[in-house]
Copies of this chain bind each other. A is one copy, B any other.
Amino acid sequence: VVRTSESRPTYHHGDLARALREEALRLIQEAGPDAVSLRELARRIGVNHAAVYRHYEDKLALLAAVAEDGWTKLVETMRASLAEEAAKSALPTDRLVRLLTSYVRFALAHPAHYRVMMGPRLNETGRFPSLEDPIEKGVTLLLTEIKAARAGGNLTEDRARDWALRVWMFAHGYVTLVLGRRVQVKPSRWEEYFQTLLLPMLGGR
């Protein structure tokens, strides 16, 4: 019953679930996560607001799906940063710095999306285990680069995981404080400053 002409189909949207996620993301980027309402989404897509519930259990479940899309995209971006020509031939520590910088770049470029991804209502409840999947992949990327960068330390698996968490915590803290304007840093200089703060951490043991 999908219609291809310009007339609005009254039945069968095609892929409403996807349309909802995409429209939600657009609204999040435009006006922040609080601006998302199911009724507004439905209005924009041209569908009855109750139709949402055929595809997502409730509003939070839709946001969780948007968050999952975000994590997947972020991990792809991180992977791509390691696949660049300049990264391939770089020293291990430099590769690690590039990886973390790509994480922060994504978060600063898509602050509202990142906020949803880190949203406590999604993560604290344990209701959305599928979120863990792309995240664990990101941690694995980190682990690999950390083992290479700190090979001199002869890291056990546990110590390597400690380092992965430590740098992740720091990167997230950096994002939070920069976005919250707790740190005054010119938009053009955040990368330089991030690396200034990061490098002395990696040097220690």
Chain A interface residues (CB < 8 Å from chain B):
32, 34, 111, 115, 118, 120-121, 123-124, 126, 135, 162, 165-166, 168-174, 176-177, 179-183, 196-197, 200-205
**Assembled-state Cα–Cα distance A34/B197 (Å):** 34
**Assembled-state Cα–Cα distance A135/B203 (Å):** 29
**Number of identical protomers:** 2
**Assembled-state Cα–Cα distance A197/B204 (Å):** 12
User: What are 11 residue pairs bridging A and B, where the CB atoms are less than 8 Å apart in the complex?
Assistant: A115-B120, A123-B179, A165-B177, A165-B183, A166-B201, A169-B170, A169-B197, A172-B173, A200-B205, A203-B205, A204-B204
Q: Which residues of the partner chain B approach A180 to less than 8 Å between Cβ atoms?
A: 118, 120, 123-124
Q: How far is the CB of A129 from chain B (nearest CB, A)?
A: 11
**Assembled-state Cα–Cα distance A115/B195 (Å):** 27
Given A196-B162, A197-B169, A34:B121 Cβ within 8 A: yes
Nearest 5 pairs of A and B residues by beta carbon:
A204-B204, A169-B173, A173-B173, A123-B180, A172-B173
Q: How far is the CB of A189 from chain B (nearest CB, A)?
A: 14
Asked if A177 and B166 sit within 8 Å, CB to CB, the answer is: no
**Assembled-state Cα–Cα distance A201/B200 (Å):** 8
Asked if B197 and A166 sit within 8 Å, CB to CB, the answer is: yes
Contact pick for A118, options B34, B176, B205, CB 8 Å? B176
Contact pick for A197, options B123, B162, B205, CB 8 Å? B162
Interface centre among A32, A111, A121, A180 (most CB of B within 10 A): A180
Interface centre among A111, A124, A196, A202 (most CB of B within 10 A): A124
Q: Which residues of the partner chain B approach A176 to less than 8 Å between Cβ atoms?
A: 118, 169, 172-173, 176
**Assembled-state Cα–Cα distance A115/B168 (Å):** 19
Q: Which residues of the partner chain B approach A166 to less than 8 Å between Cβ atoms?
A: 170, 197, 200-201
Q: How far is the CB of A72 from chain B (nearest CB, A)?
A: 17
Q: Which residues of the partner chain B approach A111 to less than 8 Å between Cβ atoms?
A: 120
Asked if A182 and B135 sit within 8 Å, CB to CB, the answer is: yes
Asked if A123 and B182 sit within 8 Å, CB to CB, the answer is: yes
